[in-house]
Structure 1
Amino acid sequence: MDDKLRVGVISSTHGIKGEVKVFPTTDEPTRFKKMKQVILDTGKEESILTIEGVKFFKQFVILKFEGIDNINDVEKYKGKELYVTRENAQRLGKNEYFIGDLIGMTVIEDTGRNLGILEEVLLTGANDVYQVRMESDEELLIPAIKQCILSVDMEKKEMTVHLLEGLLP
């Protein structure tokens, strides 16, 4: 498990006063209102930025960071990722998991057959879809619904699933 969780990616600057447009990678973009700080990962180093202001525009979150008041100061952060520490992450409900914790899990059918490794979680709107890379290198898509996802064991990094008819490639 990672000690940091990605909450967004800076897509561009916004205006000339140091604001940035952030594409949220969290289920709940309004959570930025409650955040006090984020970790900026530039690829070379990480720095903690204090959030001074939050606005929303279409699918983006507009952030203003304390001490950054000029477009030239944020231009270099385009494409960089924003994180929070696990302690500052959103609280999860029952049967909810962070995507980063699910990636890499072994997926096992309820018959005991090893199906492969969970590679990606696709956010479709209605329900998430788990993309599993099978040993045959084929891709298996499993809807994240209670009829299919029977159990998730975070300690063993295993997910037990029931495949509805027609799901196997």
Structure 2
Amino acid sequence: MHDLLIVGKIGAVYGILGWNKIFSYTEKKSNILKYKPWFLYHNNQWIQFFLEYNKIYNKKIIVKFKNINNINQAKILTNNLIAIQKQTLPKLNKCEYYWYNIILCQVFDKNNIYIGTVRNIIRTKKNDILVIKNTKYNKKEILIPFIQNIFIKKIYLKKKIIQLNTSIVE
């Protein structure tokens, strides 16, 4: 299913009544509970699961899925990835982007010289940082702060291109 976005992972069981802990990959951890339905990668396929109950206990997200009623059933789900359909994400304002839109964009400097491809994004308190990979630059990663109008000139999402305001010196 190519329209799925991984947003978390099933953790260890919690209690004996079929509950699991959740590792959320969303910016605000509890936002994972806003997205429905969930798809779990189980037995080499994506299967739709429905939450019956959820709660936050000691800063941990805990869920119970429908038809998962005991510790043995919950253990089977441990370590499964959690995905949602991309179209269930809220619409963003202008100049806001989901990371999955930015990852794999090709990056060009202000002189239109190819810098590399965005392979990852690092979150910091001040701003996100693009991790760009290009074998031309000794296979090292290039880190560019994701600050629009300072380092980032323009983003062309349909073309998967990011134009920088700066040049990269070899």
TM-score (norm: length of structure 2): 0.86
Letter in 2 for 1:159: I
In structure 2, the CA distance between the partners of 1:31 and 1:67, relative to structure 1 (3 Å rule), is same
Mind listing any 5+ residue stretches in structure 2 that lack a counterpart? none
Deviates more, 1:51-60 or 1:113-122: 51-60
* Distance in 2 (alpha carbons) for counterparts of 1:59 and 1:152: 36
Give the 3 Å change call, closer, same or farther, for CA 28–94 of structure 1 in structure 2: farther
Match of 2:89 in 1: 89
- How far apart are 1:149 and its partner, in Å? 1.7
Structure 2 residue aligned with 1:7:
7
The alpha carbon displacement at 1:162 in A equals: 2.5
1:138 alignment counterpart: 140
Q: How much does 1:168 deviate?
A: 6.0
- Give the Å deviation of 1:32: 3.4
Distance in 2, matches of 1:128 and 1:111, equals 23
1:4-40 CA-to-partner distances (Å, cap 9, x unmatched) read 1111111222222211111111113333343342000
Alignment partner, residue 27 of structure 2: 27
Identity %: 25
What corresponds to 1:161 in structure 2? 164
Could you tell me the TM-score, scaled by structure 1's length?
Answer: 0.86
Q: CA deviation at 1:57?
A: 4.1
Tell me, in whole angstroms, the C-alpha distance in 1 between the residues paired with 2:103 and 2:143: 14
Greater CA drift, 14-23 or 111-120: 14-23
Distance 1:77 1:30 in 2: 20
Query: For the residues of structure 2 that align with 1:4 and 1:114, how far apart are their CA atoms?
Result: 29
Matched, 1:107 2:110: no
How do 1:25-104 residues align onto structure 2 when only pairs under 5 Å count? 25-42=25-42, 44-57=44-57, 60-104=60-104
Aligned equivalents of 1:96, 1:58: Cα separation in 2: 32
Cα distance in structure 2, aligned partners of 1:27 and 1:46: 23
Per-residue deviation, 1:114: 0.8
Give me the whole-angstrom Cα distance separating, in 2, the residues matched to 1:53 and 1:128: 33
| DSSP 3-state at the match of 1:87 | helix
Q: Which runs of 4+ in 1 moved over 4 A?
A: none
For 2:145 and 2:39, the matched residues in 1 are separated by 32
- What amino acid is the match of 1:25? Y
Q: CA deviation at 1:94?
A: 2.0
> What are the ranges of 5 or more consecutive residues in structure 1 without an aligned counterpart?
none
Cα distance between partner residues in 2 of 1:100 and 1:8? 14
Counterpart contact for 1:24–1:60, Cα < 8 Å: no
8 A Cα contact 1:12 1:75, kept in partner: yes
Question: Equivalents in 1 of 2:57, 2:126: separation in Å?
Answer: 23
